[in-house]
Amino acid sequence: MKQEVFSGAVKLPYLTNYLVSNKIHRVLLVTGNNSYNKSSAESTLEPHLESFEVTQYSEFSHNPKIEDVIRGVHIFTRKRCEGIIAVGGGSVLDMAKLIKAYQVSPGDISSEVKENIVGSCDTKLIALPTTAGSGSEATQFAVVYIDQKKFSVSDEKLRPDLVFLISNFTHSTSAYLSASTGMDAMSQSIESFWSVNSTDESREYSREAFQILWKFLPQAVLENNFDAKSKVMKAAHLAGKAINIAKTTAAHALSYSFTSYHGIAHGHAVALTLPFFCGYNSQISPEDCNDERGANHVRGIFSEIQDIIGEKDVGKALAAFIGDLGLELTISESPRGIEKDIDRILGNINAQRMKNNPRAVHIHDLQSMLKKIIISD
C-alpha cells in the first residue's frame, strides 16, 4: 500500500481534497484528551474540517485497553463514519488503527487481537502525530492492553494512508515528554539497525534517524529549539519506517512491563534497558549470534554506531546521553519487592521481539541488569 506523506501545515488544504475525493463526509476524529487543544492541532485543523460531519473520540486510556477499542468501534459504527483522522501521539494513532481494524468485525474483538486477526478494512486512515517519537504513522503495528498484558496487532492494512508531519504540534510538548518520545525514536533507530530482520533499506532509515537524533534531540528537549524539533519529527518518522521492516528487539521486549506495572512512559521504559543492550550486543560472538549473517555483520553495525557518536563504549555514551536529557535510569521497587518485580517483568517478556535481537539473551543476564534498574527507596 502506497502511503502519502506531507510536511508542514501549508499542505493541509490537501486534506479536504482527499476526503472529498474519497467520498468521506462523516469522520471519526481520534485525539488525545488534552494534546489536541494544547498542541494547536485543533485550531489548525478546524478550518479544514468545517464542511464535514465530525465525531471526536478522546476518552480512552493513555495506553489503550481493549475496552477502549470496543467503545471506539461502537462509536464509529453508530455514527456511520466513513473515514478516520488520528491526531496525537503513538497511543492515539494505535487506537485509530485498531478501530479501523475491527470496525467490521463480527466476532469477539479480544480474541481476534490475541490471534492477530485483521479482516477486510478499507476505511481510509489519516494520521497527524503531535509527538516526535513513536513513528506509528509509518508502521503497520498497533499496541493494545488486555488485562495489563500487551498485545501487538500487525497488518499492512493498518499503515495510515495519508500522513501530515507538522512539527508545530510538538512545540508545546513538555521536556519530559519530548525526552521520552525522543528516546522511543532513538531506540527504534538503534534496534532496527541491529535487528536480525534488518535490510539495506531499513538500515538506511535507521542510520539517518540515529544521526539526526544524536545531534538534535538534546536541543529539542533542553532548549525547546523549534528547528531541532522539526528534525526530530523527521527522524521519528524514519525510525518508524525502519521498524516497519526490521521490527524492534530486546529493549522493547522488556519495556512493556515497566509501563504496565510501574507506570513508566513507553519511551522512558525503553531507555531504561537500551544502554545495557548496547553493551551486551556489542560483545557478540559466533556462538551466541542470532543473525544468520554472522557476528561480523553485527560488529559492522556497531562500528557504524561508534563512528556516529564518536565513542567506543556505546552503552556508556548512551547512558550519559539519556541522563543529560533528564531521564532517570533507575526506578523504585513496587510494594511487591524487587525480586517479585523482576519475576513479573521476566514473566511478561515479548518473546517475538526478543528473537529479533542479534545476540542470544540469557535469563541470568536479564536478572543482573534488572537488579541495577529496580532499586529500593
pLDDT digits (tens, 9 = 90+) for 86-111: 999 999 999 999 999 998 876 789 99
Average pLDDT, integer, range 355-363: 96
**Would you call 17 helix, strand, or coil by DSSP?**
helix
Residue 260 reports pLDDT greater than 90: no
User: Residue 311 gets which letter from DSSP?
Assistant: -
Rounded to whole angstroms, the Cα distance separating 219 from 225 reads 6
What pLDDT, on a 0 to 100 scale, did the predictor assign at position 206?
98
Q: What is the pTM of this model?
A: 0.94
Q: How far is CA 13 from the centre of its chain?
A: 27
Average pLDDT over residues 80-91: 96
SS3 state of residue 188: helix
Q: Residues for the chain: how many in total?
A: 377
149 residue type, one letter: K
> Among 213, 216, 178, which residue's Cα sits nearest to residue 193?
213
Average of pLDDT values for 34-62? 92
Rounded-to-integer distance, Cα 38 and Cα 98, Å: 25
Instruction: Check pLDDT > 70 for residue 327.
Output: yes
CB 134 within 8 A of CB 100: no
Contacts of 36 (CB under 8 A, 6+ apart): 42, 58, 87, 88, 130
**Grid cell digits, residue 333:** 521497587
- CB burial of 291-316 (b: ≥16 within 10 Å; e: otherwise) equals beeebebbbebbeebeebbeeeebbe
Please give the order of strands across the beta sheet that includes 26-31.
4-7, 162-165, 124-129, 83-88, 26-31, 53-57
Rounded to whole angstroms, how far apart are CA atoms 43 and 55? 16
* Domains with residue ranges and CATH for the chain: 4-169 (3.40.50.1970), 175-375 (1.20.1090.10)
CA quadruple 64, 216, 186, 332: dihedral positive or negative? negative
